[in-house]
Amino acid sequence: MYKFTYFNNVHIKTILFCLIVGLIMIALPFFVKGLEKTRYTVYLGYLIILVKIADSIYRYVYENESIIETMPLNLCNIAVLIAGVYFITKKNILINIVYFFSLGAVLAILLPGIGSYNTKMYPYFFMAAHMMELIALVYAFIWLNAKITKKGLITSITLYLVLSVLVKIFDNLTGMNFMYLNDYIIPFMSVIKPIILYDVVLISLFVLSMIIAYLPFRNRKK
């Protein structure tokens, strides 16, 4: 059994490893002209999805987590799967959702909720599954002419609210804490009671973060 602490050697090594791999994926079209227009991008989409599936399988087999615990119902897991589908379909609305949901991935990379783990490889799977979301965003902006739009903001907020309701119901039925709706995301928020009020505050803050993230692109008409 290993214990994970923020910004220890394992944390830094996993971030650097995933950054290097991500930079290679992004940089290849600079060296192979037109590569982004080939099946390369589609293969990256399948790779992103496979990395997330591998993460869930690894947690079930080697980290002794239950099937329910490995379900991709946290926001960053949903976003990384959407990123994979975006690379396959090139539908701009999908990368908008990834962009507006990406705060979750940033927080997961900087403050991973790992705690203790059984195998040395697990932090790499965890980091790769979350880093893929940010790698996809950078790749999309550089090579796929991704555009952040008001429609994308509205769609992302609507999807987030729908997911919040559905996941809250699932959490209540299973005792899980997906999307941090059944227990506090950080200790100091425990002063907010009852839990339903905390949920409203958490959801409102995330919606606000999406609106703020849209501001640099607010002059776009569509």
How confident is the model at residue 159, as a pLDDT? 98
Instruction: Indicate if the pLDDT at residue 220 is higher than 80.
Output: no
Cis, peptide link before residue 194, omega less than 30° from 0 = yes
Quote the pLDDT of residue 114.
Answer: 84
Q: What percent of the chain has pLDDT over 70?
A: 99
pLDDT at 9: 93
Name the residue type at position 29.
Answer: P
The DSSP code for 8 is S
More confident residue, 13 or 221: 13
Q: How confident is the model over 17-31, as pLDDT tens digits?
A: 999 999 999 999 999
Decide: 15 and 61 in contact? Cβ < 8 Å: no
Please write the tens of the pLDDT for every residue from 57-73: 999 999 999 999 999 99
- Which residue, chain included where needed, has tokens 């615990």? 69
Tens-digit pLDDT profile for residues 173-203: 999 999 999 999 888 899 999 999 999 999 9
Residues paired with 116 in a beta bridge? 3
User: So what's the pLDDT on residue 221?
Assistant: 55
Residue 145: is its pLDDT beyond 60? Answer: yes
Mean residue pLDDT of the chain comes to: 93
- Per-residue pLDDT of 67-119, as tens digits, reads 999 999 999 999 999 999 999 999 999 999 999 999 888 988 988 878 889 99
Query: Is residue 123 pLDDT above 90, yes or no?
Result: yes
Neighbours of 153 (CB within 10 A): 22
Listed in sequence order, the DSSP H helices in 90-149 are: 92-101, 103-110, 122-143
